[in-house]
Structure 1
Amino acid sequence: MCAHILVAEDDVLQAALVRRCLESENHRVVIVTDGRAAIEAARQDPPDLLVLDVMMPRIDGLDVCRVLRAESDLPMLMLTARAAEDDLLLGLDLGADDYMTKPFSPPELMARVRTLLRRAGRTATPPDPVLRVGALAVDPERHEVTVDGLLVDCTPGEFQLLALLAAEPGRVFSRQQIISRQYGIDGSLTARAVDGHVMNLRRKIEPVPRRPVRLITVYGVGYKLVNGEAAARRQDRDGSREE
């Protein structure tokens, strides 16, 4: 167990996404859905970190931050759909340690969580931030992708897609889920653009791009990333690698 993290978020889908991200690094996660419950939970079982949405019922996140900061030095990461500079500055003035606007990148969220926990001395041994699926490694902090130890040159869009899939190997993501979770801030992204990223990534990470063994299409559903090393070795033995 790395850390006890309290998440105050009234949006069910956002809360589920944050939970998956945190539990992927073995954190113990407690979810509450309003500001009053957040204050009570933090008092009853003090967490190592509070991930706090600004817009919540009963008591909003800014007031939660003000109340809890008066009582403790609990690290707080605020999430908001409001990107106005005044809101950001107010949250930081009230005592928030960091601030992210929605939609956010899960790899960036986890990098910020690790930073806050390290800064507060809440984790003795930080987890390895690198996402590994077989011979494929995605490093969100260095923004690097390697296959068999060799660096792969990816565009920002390709990297974000690969990081999303690598965070949950074997899980199928629809095109719409990919757009909303990783690229929601970019209203110009389309399902066709996601397909284009996939095609380009296969040229870079697959032994035989026309016969992918890592970045797999689940027809009628979407895409998933799997450990395809056994199939990749067979393709190598067959001498069918494409340049």
Structure 2
Amino acid sequence: MIKILIVEDEEKIARFLELELMHEGYEIMKANNGRIGLEIAEKEEADLVILDVMLPELNGLEVLRRLRKSSDIPVIMLTARDAVMDKVSGLDAGADDYITKPFAIEELLARIRTALKKRVITPKKETDILKCGLLSLDKLRHKVMYDNTEIELTNREFVLLQILLENKNIVLTRDMLMEKVCGYNYVGETNVIDVYVRYLRTKIDNIFGIKIITTVRGVGYVIKDEEK
């Protein structure tokens, strides 16, 4: 059974979500403050977190930042705020989606289904070090190295490279990558993934004379087991 953690300090909302999600067949865990929510998220095998932004003890964004140091569990931010910068902050901190109160339960359920599907793209690995030849990516230290040389990447470049490394030999479409790298609510240039792939090639392939990311014409991108 899929487990969902609800971190929400408003009891009526938390209870409403609990009943609706249980009705849909999910197993529910709850926390009414950020510190407890973080502890549960780190210790329990939840499949998704619904995380309010305005929480006592630790706010939702801080919970998310700390959680992302050790976990890629899908997180949907839930808040009364609707300012663009608040949404951007949540997505940049690693949220998979963002929904504003008040909301229709049908919309939240749809976003939960989408977030759970996206998790298939980035399965958990036994190691926090991802490798392709001499290239290595350290998820916890947020560091990329080629042999003994560190490569400076932006957050989105890092996330894109991580997703591709976690799914070696699997061709990922541009849409799949865009949702994971830029967020469900991304509004902007549709070729953003092509742009970031070009940035990665400039910083890795061009510098070290290798070919890490392969283009699959008309589909997307893939990193194969061995660099060429």
TM-score (norm: length of structure 2): 0.52
Instruction: Answer whether contact 1:175 1:191 (CA < 8 A) is retained.
Output: no
Equivalent residue runs for 1:41-56 within 5 Å? 56=21
Match for residue 213 of structure 2 among 215, 222, 225: 215
Distance in structure 1 (CA, Å) of the matches to 2:197 and 2:51: 31
Aligned residue in 1 for 2:197: 198
Work out whether 1:101 is the aligned partner of 2:75. yes
Distance in structure 2 (CA, Å) of the matches to 1:55 and 1:207: 52
Question: Aligned letter for 1:57?
Answer: M
% identical aligned pairs: 22
Instruction: Answer whether contact 1:202 1:215 (CA < 8 A) is retained.
Output: yes
| CA shift digits 1:95-124 (9 cap, x unpaired) | xxx796234499xx9xxxx9xxxxxxxxxx
Q: Which moved more, 1:214-223 or 1:142-151?
A: 142-151
Aligned residue in 2 for 1:80: 49
Instruction: Answer whether contact 2:3 2:45 (CA < 8 A) is retained.
Output: no
Deviation (angstroms), 1:190: 3.6
Pairwise CA RMSD of aligned residues? Answer: 4.4
Deviation (angstroms), 1:199: 0.4
Task: Name the CA shift for 1:218/1:63 in 2 (closer, same or farther; >3 Å).
Answer: same
Instruction: Answer whether contact 1:213 1:226 (CA < 8 A) is retained.
Output: no
Aligned residue in 2 for 1:13: none
SS at match of 1:85: coil
Deviation (angstroms), 1:85: 2.8
Please, which runs of 5 or more residues in structure 1 have no aligned partner?
1-5, 10-52, 65-72, 90-97, 115-125, 232-243
Instruction: Answer whether contact 1:217 1:224 (CA < 8 A) is retained.
Output: yes
Aligned residue in 1 for 2:28: 61
Work out whether 1:141 is the aligned partner of 2:140. yes
SS at match of 1:196: helix
Aligned residue in 1 for 2:36: none
| CA shift digits 1:184-208 (9 cap, x unpaired) | 1562354312111100100121158
Distance in structure 2 (CA, Å) of the matches to 1:143 and 1:132: 14
Deviation (angstroms), 1:151: 0.7
Distance in structure 2 (CA, Å) of the matches to 1:156 and 1:218: 24
Question: Aligned letter for 2:218?
Answer: G
Task: Kindly report structure 1 stretches of 4+ aligned residues shifted beyond 4 Å.
Answer: 86-89
Distance in structure 1 (CA, Å) of the matches to 2:149 and 2:128: 18
Task: Name the CA shift for 1:221/1:55 in 2 (closer, same or farther; >3 Å).
Answer: farther
Deviation (angstroms), 1:81: 4.2
Deviation (angstroms), 1:214: 1.4
Distance in structure 2 (CA, Å) of the matches to 1:170 and 1:190: 27
Aligned residue in 2 for 1:161: 160
Match for residue 3 of structure 2 among 1, 4, 8: 8
SS at match of 1:151: strand
Work out whether 1:177 is the aligned partner of 2:144. no
Instruction: Answer whether contact 2:136 2:146 (CA < 8 A) is retained.
Output: yes
SS at match of 1:181: helix
Q: Computing the radius of gyration over CA atoms, which structure comes out larger, 1 or 2? A: 1
